[in-house]
Chain A
Amino acid sequence: DQQVKQNSPSLSVQEGRISILNCDYTNSMFDYFLWYKKYPAEGPTFLISISSIKDKNEDGRFTVFLNKSAKHLSLHIVPSQPGDSAVYFCAASGQDTGGFKTIFGAGTRLFVKA
């Protein structure tokens, strides 16, 4: 049962253009959403987050949008840089009967071409 889905395994973007990574979730218990970036042979690195009471959060070149009614969030990277090439994971956190949980999507591999 995939509660957090990233339907695009990979994305290729030209340097300087916008990268848009998408994520869908199914469980209404989630009230906090995060994006992590992962390079090979390293653990994931926190990038940006958003609370369910907001619909947008911005940090430099990174913006996360949340559409609660559609249970959809997206990460926008503008402008994209070659150093942004990595695997990006969407994660959702919240409380359910099993206690607190953080559920990750399968990841999207971003390639930024110079």
Chain B
Amino acid sequence: DAGVTQSPTHLIKTRGQHVTLRCSPISGHKSVSWYQQVLGQGPQFIFQYYEKEERGRGNFPDRFSARQFPNYSSELNVNALLLGDSALYLCASSLWSDTDEQYFGPGTRLTVT
């Protein structure tokens, strides 16, 4: 069975641009979470979606938004990119929400120049 997949693998954008990152969860998983990881830190929670509804939001500005589609895949959108948005963006899926262990994708490496 395929694990969590993310696209693209790497991405280079310029300050002020917009970016869309995509995630496909493990088949049967209904919850998707997004994390940002910078070097030397653990993943920082951005959003959790369950059954197409936002269930949780971390301390990120409104430039960050996400959605979940009927097939449970998800997109993370970041507007007005800043240099500080350069990071590894991880997507994780789980069967339900709340206490389930999450299965992570390999991440999308975003570089903002």
Interface stretch (choices B11-19, B68-76, B77-85, B98-106): B98-106
Contacts A41-B106, A101-B56: A49 and B101 contacting too (C-beta < 8 A)?
A: yes
Chain B, Cβ-Cβ closest to A34? B101
The reply to whether A44 and B104 form a contact with Cβ atoms under 8 Å apart is: yes
Contacts A100-B56, A103-B45: A45 and B98 contacting too (C-beta < 8 A)?
A: no
Choose among B97, B104, B105, B106 the residue with the greatest number of A CB atoms under 10 Å from its CB. B104
| Interface range for B | 20 to 34
A32 to B97, CA, bound (A): 12
A43 to B99, CA, bound (A): 19
Interface SS of chain A: strand
Shortest distance from the beta carbon of A18 to any chain B beta carbon, whole Å: 24
Contact with A along B91-113 (1 / 0, CB 8 A): 01000011101111111000000
Shortest distance from the beta carbon of A15 to any chain B beta carbon, whole Å: 26
Chain B, Cβ-Cβ closest to A45? B104
Q: Does B8 contact A (CB under 8 A)?
A: no
Q: Does B28 contact A (CB under 8 A)?
A: no
The reply to whether B42 and A102 form a contact with Cβ atoms under 8 Å apart is: no
Shortest distance from the beta carbon of B68 to any chain A beta carbon, whole Å: 14
The reply to whether A100 and B55 form a contact with Cβ atoms under 8 Å apart is: yes
User: Which residues of chain B are near A43, meaning CB under 8 Å?
Assistant: 4, 90, 92, 104-107
Residue contacts A-B, CB under 8 angstroms, 9 given: A34-B101, A42-B106, A49-B101, A98-B56, A100-B56, A101-B48, A104-B35, A104-B44, A106-B41
- Given A44-B104, A103-B45, 4 new contacts (CB under 8 A): A49-B101, A98-B58, A102-B48, A106-B40
Query: Which residues of B are interface residues toward A (Cβ below 8 A)?
Result: 4, 33, 35, 40-45, 48, 54-58, 90, 92, 97-99, 101-107
